[in-house]
Amino acid sequence: MDAVPDLPYSTSRGMDAEPPAAGLRRQSWLSLATTHPGRLPGLILLALSLSLLAFVAATPALAQGKPPPSEPSAAAAGDVESADRLRDAVGAVVRIRMRALRDATSMELLGPDREGTGVVIDSSGLILTIGYIVVEASRIEVSTSGGKSVPANLIAFDQPTGLALLRTSVPIGVRPVELGDSSPLEATEAVLVASAVAADVAYVASRRTFTGYWEYILEDAIFTAPPRGDFAGAALIGRDGRLLGIGSLFVADAVQPRANFPGNMFIPINSLRPILGDLIANGRRSDARPWLGVHTQEVQGRIVVTRVTPESPAQKAGLRRGDIITALDGQELAGQADLYKRLWAYGKPGVKVPLRVLQGNRMLELGIDSMDRYDHFRSQPAL
């Protein structure tokens, strides 16, 4: 069976990390540092320590649980206000439980029961989360930190980013988090990662473009460390209490490509802003991309097919695992990212995409009738 668009584990070199269970988990970065000290270079460790100190210093009421003085100074009042905003932001985090449709295409990889985190972003019960924990759902339940549980419906999914929107059946009485601006966020800055399990301080390890093997490119992705096992849909919160990103992946190279340093990848909140209106109104963005249903990996400069999605356009056209894609529309391809960008620029979903493919010892010219990835999912009664 095929993976949903965002697998909950990935690296820029392929799948060399173990997939997590469908439920929420925690991973100790302290144990990683103890058992694999080579993975935590001294310079990065120093940056992390300084960031943690700065973050805690800015939020003493949150970190220490102490009441403010009766006549606080302006600085102390600001610290208390900052701590209050962070506390409110963490309060907007909810737990999501999902039961998949019996014929869900993602059943084999992710199982029938999935859990993750979501973030309330408006007072009507609109919740932002990561798509792979809620697509192809027969039932979704949202639980607040106060113990209230209500049904929710999937109202939108965005393939290009991997983000999804839920709406609860009734308002849940949770103060929504305010959306921030993720563009100024830089490496070594301290952030708060909040899931339905816990909220912990992390730091930004890098900002860069991420290319995934499932026809996916995310510009300006946010990579954080230390790694968290409960990353799926987790909230990335700035020190001003605003939402900066949504957790998507575990990665083995958070600092730079092919450098062994584990962490997580977050989808920047600025990716949501231009499409939020479309998602709420139509359930998807208006400028959908053509999708083939092929997983690829770059091997010594070649684009090798590692998986073909069952019932996908690629499978119907005869593409197979082990094939090498060499050209699109007669033009040689420079790599994985080049393939995706030229595919998306070729036309709208439904366009026939001409690929040159080396299959065994034969060079084939295949015409693949693309489609919208959204339409490949099993029917969702809530939509």
CB-CB contact of 311 with 378 (8 Å): no
CB contact set of 220 (below 8 Å; sequence gap of 6+) = 182, 183, 207, 208, 209, 268, 270
The matching CATH number, chosen from 2.30.42.10, 3.60.20.10, 2.60.40.10, 2.40.10.480, for 294-376 is 2.30.42.10
Eight-class DSSP state of 193: E
Residue 380: is its pLDDT beyond 80? no
In angstroms, the Cα distances linking 279 to 8, 283, 374 are 22, 5, 12
Is pLDDT of 48 > 50? no
Residue reference for tokens 């593409």: 319
**Are 63 and 52 contacting, i.e. CB atoms less than 8 angstroms apart?**
no
Instruction: Please give the CATH number for the structural domain made up of 1-286.
Output: 2.40.10.120
Where are the domains positioned within the chain? 1-286, 294-376
Task: Please enumerate in sequence order all residues whose Cβ is within 8 A of that of 361, keeping only pairs 6 or more positions apart, or say none.
Answer: none
Q: Is residue 188 over pLDDT 90?
A: yes
Predicted pLDDT of residue 108: 73
Structure tokens at 323: 């094939």
pLDDT of residue 78: 52
Q: What is the pLDDT of residue 289?
A: 95
Q: What is the structure's pLDDT at 56?
A: 52
In this model, does residue 163 exceed pLDDT 90? yes
Phi and psi for 43 in degrees, rounded to 5? -65, -45
The SS3 of residue 94 is strand
Candidates 291, 297, 289, 285; CA nearest to 312 is 291
57 pLDDT band, cuts 50/70/90, is: low
pLDDT in tens, 206-259: 999 999 999 999 999 999 999 999 999 999 999 999 999 999 999 999 999 888
Give residue 119's pLDDT band: very low, low, confident or very high (50, 70, 90).
very high
What integer best gives the mean pLDDT of the chain? Answer: 83
pLDDT of residue 111: 85
The pLDDT tens digits for 270-295 are 999 999 999 999 999 989 999 999 99
**197/95 Cα distance (integer angstroms):** 8
Furthest-apart CA pair in the chain: how many Å?
80
Question: Over 90: is that where the pLDDT of 262 sits?
Answer: yes
- Mind listing the pLDDT tens digit for each residue in 351-368? 999 999 999 999 999 999
Same fold, 1-286 and 294-376: no
Q: What digits encode the pLDDT tens for the residues 6-47? A: 344 443 333 333 333 333 444 333 333 333 334 444 444 444
Rounded mean pLDDT, 200-204:
95
